[in-house]
């Protein structure tokens, strides 16, 4: 038997069900049966780091309590954190050229703009927004009340976001070189985002599933590439709650593979060029 | 859309060419800046050139300066792909006229995203790799 076979043989069907349920209960992330390998490949390092010789041992330990730091680590390890600066580019272009100028005009009396990055992963998305605002709308950033609230379920991702330190591969991805040289400093093999941008973003823990803490009324809500992990009722529950937070003329930005169509008909789709956003009807 | 890949490593040229072909470019490749200038003189401008920095005979930075001095090549987009990763170096390349800059080692998504940033409109082609 090879090492991987030994590990796979490790998890009994009951263990697998237990892990899937734990992850689903905590994060709403659905890991279907065909993705069992994901549990093994992502949880083996968690087991090892926490002094357990096998996944069976890890599960046995988890079963002793209902919740605890180890439960959080397991859920954390199962989140997919794939992201990049200016991901998919088109929504950012249209945001800059069409949606933001329109919102700025509408908000000229209040002089307030609020952005919410729900599921910000390692921070590339809120920092992309901060760069766009600082470079393209400097007078707004300097004289209006502009807030960027960035949240995620994962404590590890929030820590990385707040640090604003990226590897060479991460800054290579999606970030225009002129913005890299302008907004980052090299620090050994890492790239550190400048403090003026870091200071623009408020990072907080927030689980999209369950009750949300207070979130102010939002003009642009980024909820990209996270609904995709949830089942239909969870998507519906989240979109429903979100309507209480998003201003009636605000924009909801989803991932390219996501939509409100056939999920919640109380949103309308707004398409400009190659970008799509959603607004409450 | 035509792309010219300029790098003294044959393996790097092959990898970069394949990534560009997958998103719909017709690719050509040469091993140094001088050969690239000759190729352009013979075949006319390309839409995109990927330019290594360190190459024998004529390096990438010198190549970029020569290309940018020639109005016939004004529409060519230049993406530097290099192991050089100092901010000062990057600024030098951008000031010389590079449109974008990618550091080695790169992945296919790095190159695809740089092409997106450059705004080169490619016919819709299925892109390898899954969702999220
Ligand atoms: C694929 S990333 C998306 C990052 C970014 N929005 C983007 O589009 O590039 C998904 C993120 O969703 C977070 N996430 C997963 N389940 C969540 C939940 N129930 N509540 C909040 N965030 C969650 C993960 O921690 C991860 O950082
Ligand atoms: Mg070289």
- Ligand 2 mean position to B105 CA, how many Å? 12
- CATH number of the domain that residue A55 is part of: 1.10.155
Lowest mean pLDDT among A67-76, A262-271, B54-63: A67-76
- Ligand 1 mean position to A31 CA, how many Å? 15
- One DSSP character per residue, chain B reads -EEEEE-S-HHHHHHHHHHHHHTT-EEEEESSHHHHHHHHHHH---SEEEE-SS-SSS-HHHHHHHHHT-GGGTT-EEEEEES---HHHHHHHHHHT-SEEEESS--HHHHHHHHHHTT--PPP-PPSS---
- Ligand 2 mean position to B15 CA, how many Å? 14
- Closest atom of ligand 1 relative to the A207 alpha carbon: 20
The pair phi, psi for residue A51, each rounded to 5°, is 80, 25
Q: Which of A168, A173, A255 minimises the CB distance to B132?
A: A255
Percent of residues, chain B, with pLDDT higher than 90: 86
| Ligand 1, atom 23, residue with closest C-alpha | A153
| Ligand number with the minimum distance to the CA of B8 | 2
Choose one of A78, A113, A138: the last residue of a domain: A78
Report whether residue A24 contacts ligand 1, using a CB cutoff of 6 Å. Answer: no
Percent of residues, chain A, with pLDDT higher than 70: 96
Query: pTM of the predicted model, to two decimals?
Result: 0.89
Report whether residue A29 contacts ligand 1, using a CB cutoff of 6 Å. Answer: yes
pLDDT at res. A11 = 81
pLDDT at A6 over 70: no
Average pLDDT of the residues in A15-23: 91
pLDDT at A5 over 90: no
With respect to residue A48, please indicate whether it lies within any of the assigned structural domains: yes
pLDDT in tens, A118-158: 999 999 999 999 999 999 999 999 999 999 999 999 999 99
pLDDT in tens, A59-99: 999 999 888 889 988 988 888 888 999 999 999 999 999 99
Query: Per the structure, how many domains does chain A have?
Result: 2
- CATH number of the domain that residue A119 is part of: 3.40.50.150
Chain A residues in contact with B101 (beta carbon < 8 A): 177, 180
pLDDT at B130 over 50: no
Is the Cβ–Cβ distance between B79 and B98 less than 8 Å?
yes
The total of other beta-carbon atoms located within 10 Å of residue A157's CB is 22
A51 and A154 housed in the same domain: no
With respect to residue A261, please indicate whether it lies within any of the assigned structural domains: yes
Average pLDDT, chain A: 92
Report whether residue A224 contacts ligand 1, using a CB cutoff of 6 Å. Answer: yes
| pLDDT band, very low/low/confident/very high, at B96 (cuts 50, 70, 90) | very high
Residue of B nearest to A92 (CA): B117
A209 and A270 housed in the same domain: yes
Choose one of A24, A43, A78: the last residue of a domain: A78
- Chain B nearest CA to A174, separation (Å): 5
Average pLDDT of the residues in B28-53: 98
pLDDT at res. A76 = 85
Best CA proximity match to A175, nearest among A158, A191, A195: A191
A173 and B117 within 8 Å at the Cβ level: the answer is: no
| pLDDT band, very low/low/confident/very high, at A221 (cuts 50, 70, 90) | very high
B132 and A173 within 8 Å at the Cβ level: the answer is: no
In terms of pLDDT, which residue wins out, B77 or A274? Answer: B77
| pLDDT band, very low/low/confident/very high, at B128 (cuts 50, 70, 90) | very low
Best CA proximity match to A92, nearest among A130, A55, A144, A142: A130
Q: Which of A168, A174, A255 minimises the CB distance to B103?
A: A168
A69 and A108 housed in the same domain: no
Choose one of A52, A78, A104: the last residue of a domain: A78
Interface ipTM: 0.88
- Chain A nearest CA to B104, separation (Å): 9
- Chain A nearest CA to B110, separation (Å): 5
- Ligand 1 mean position to A44 CA, how many Å? 21
pLDDT at res. B64 = 98
A63 and A93 housed in the same domain: no
Which residue is it, tokens 């605890």?
A68
pLDDT at A1 over 70: no
With respect to residue A12, please indicate whether it lies within any of the assigned structural domains: yes
A40 and A73 housed in the same domain: yes
Burial B34-48 (b: 16+ CB within 10 A, else e): bbbbebbeeeeebbb
Average pLDDT of the residues in A161-169: 96
The pair phi, psi for residue A249, each rounded to 5°, is -105, 20
Report whether residue A125 contacts ligand 1, using a CB cutoff of 6 Å. Answer: yes
| Ligand number with the minimum distance to the CA of A224 | 1
A71 and A99 housed in the same domain: no
A159 and A51 housed in the same domain: no
With respect to residue A150, please indicate whether it lies within any of the assigned structural domains: yes
CB-based contact, B108 to chain A, within 8 Å: no
A166 and A48 housed in the same domain: no
A38 and A132 housed in the same domain: no
Highest-confidence segment of A15-19, A198-202, B118-122? A198-202
With respect to residue A199, please indicate whether it lies within any of the assigned structural domains: yes
With respect to residue A84, please indicate whether it lies within any of the assigned structural domains: no
A108 and A245 housed in the same domain: yes
pLDDT at A243 over 80: yes
A123 and A74 housed in the same domain: no
What residues make up the domain containing A167?
A: 89-280
pLDDT at A217 over 70: yes
A234 and A125 housed in the same domain: yes
With respect to residue A67, please indicate whether it lies within any of the assigned structural domains: yes
With respect to residue A83, please indicate whether it lies within any of the assigned structural domains: no
| pLDDT band, very low/low/confident/very high, at A38 (cuts 50, 70, 90) | confident
Domains annotated on chain B, with CATH = 2-117 (3.40.50.2300)
């Amino acid at each position: 038997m090879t090492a991987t076979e030994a590990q796979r043989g490790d998890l009994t069907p009951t263990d697998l069900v237990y892990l899937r349920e734990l992850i689903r209960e905590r994060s709403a992330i659905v890991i279907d049966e065909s993705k069992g390998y994901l549990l093994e490949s992502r949880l083996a390092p968690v087991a090892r780091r926490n002094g357990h010789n096998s996944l069976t041992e890890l599960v046995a330990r988890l079963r002793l309590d209902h919740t605890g730091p180890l439960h959080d680590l397991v859920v954390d390890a199962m989140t997919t954190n794939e992201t990049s600066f200016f991901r998919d580019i088109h929504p950012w272009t249209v945001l800059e050229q069409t949606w933001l100028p329109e919102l700025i005009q509408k908000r000229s009396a209040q002089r307030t703009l609020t952005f919410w990055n729900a599921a910000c992963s390692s921070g590339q998305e809120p920092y992309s927004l901060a760069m766009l605002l600082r470079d393209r709308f400097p007078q707004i950033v300097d004289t209006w009340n502009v807030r960027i609230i960035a949240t995620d379920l994962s404590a590890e991702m929030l820590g990385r976001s707040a640090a604003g330190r990226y590897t060479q591969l991460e800054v290579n991805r999606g970030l225009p070189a002129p913005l890299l040289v302008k907004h980052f400093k090299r620090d050994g093999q890492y790239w550190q985002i400048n403090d003026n941008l870091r200071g623009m973003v408020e990072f907080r823990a927030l689980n999209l599933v369950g009750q949300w803490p207070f979130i102010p009324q939002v003009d642009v809500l980024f909820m990209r590439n996270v609904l995709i992990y949830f089942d239909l009722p969870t998507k519906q529950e989240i979109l429903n709650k979100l309507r209480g937070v998003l201003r009636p003329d605000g924009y909801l930005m989803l991932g390219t593979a996501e939509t409100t169509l056939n999920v919640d008909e109380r949103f309308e789709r707004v398409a400009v060029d190659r970008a799509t956003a959603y607004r409450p009807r | 859309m035509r792309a010219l890949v300029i790098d003294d490593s044959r393996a790097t040229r092959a990898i970069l060419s394949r990534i560009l072909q997958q998103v719909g470019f017709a690719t050509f490749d040469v091993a140094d800046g001088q050969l690239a200038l000759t190729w352009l003189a013979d075949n006319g401008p390309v839409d995109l050139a990927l330019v290594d920095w360190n190459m024998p005979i004529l390096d990438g930075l010198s190549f970029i300066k020569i290309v940018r001095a020639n109005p016939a090549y004004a529409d060519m987009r230049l993406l530097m792909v290099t192991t050089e990763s100092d901010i000062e170096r990057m600024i030098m390349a951008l000031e010389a006229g590079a449109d974008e800059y990618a550091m080695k080692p790169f992945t296919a998504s790095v190159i695809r995203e740089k092409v997106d940033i450059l705004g080169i409109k490619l016919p819709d082609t299925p892109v390898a790799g899954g969702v999220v």
